[in-house]
Each structure stands twice: as C-alpha cells, then as structure tokens.
Amino acid sequence: MSESLFEKLGGAVAVDAAVDIFYRKVLSDDSINHFFDDTDLQAQRDKQKSFLTMAFGGPNAYEGKDLRSAHAPLVERGLNDNHFGAVAGHLKATLDELDVPSDLTDEVMGIAASTQDDVLNR
C-alpha cells in the first residue's frame, strides 16, 4: 500500500511543527485576526491543529456540516472569500517555510480549497 499524504508529510509531528508557525501568521494578520478570539489562545490553537490535521490528509472527525456550523457565526460577522484566501495564503506560506515539496503542498492546498463552500456556508 502506498504512503498516504499524511504519512508523506510526516504525520502528527508535521502538524506539531506547522501549527505554531501557521497560527502566529493568522494572529498577526489584521485583516483576519478579529475572527479569532484570542481570549482562549490554547483552545484556538487546538482548533488550528484539527484544521491542519484535516488539510494534511490525516485522521479527523471533521465533516462538512461541522465546518458549516462552526463557521456560521463568523459568516454572520462577514467572513468571505477574501478572508478564506488570506488563511489559505498563510497555510501555503507555512508549508513553504517548512520546505514541503511542491507536489505535497498542492495536495494540501487542494484539500483546504475543497472546504471553501462549507466554511462560507454556501
């Protein structure tokens, strides 16, 4: 059996390496950081970890309806394609920073892009 995307990326270790780089980028971006409640930094970071695990093709319990209900309050506050694009940009920059090979990066970005309609509740 061939290695899964998650295994090729390095599994849970890769998620651990990526989560702080990614979340710091998101928190530092004034165009989107108001969507990320920073009063519970730890809980927010855990959510980023679940997201990255999913985007890395790893085991997760995410379903379309979870993504929808989780993001519905943010959509009401104006979450749109630009914000989605900004987060995706930070994900791409994180992968680049970690020297992830471009074919794997493409796969990750493909998974992330596939969530766009659920996240934006369309």
List interacting residues with another protein (CB under 8 A).
20, 24, 27-28, 38-39, 41-42, 45
12/6 Cα distance (integer angstroms): 8
Return the DSSP state at 13: H
Nearer to another protein, 45 or 68 (CB): 45
Instruction: Kindly state the smallest distance separating residue 106's Cβ from another protein, in Å.
Output: 29
Instruction: Kindly state the smallest distance separating residue 38's Cβ from another protein, in Å.
Output: 5
Distance of CA 112 to the CA centre of its chain: 7
Nearer to another protein, 38 or 99 (CB): 38
9/116 Cα distance (integer angstroms): 22
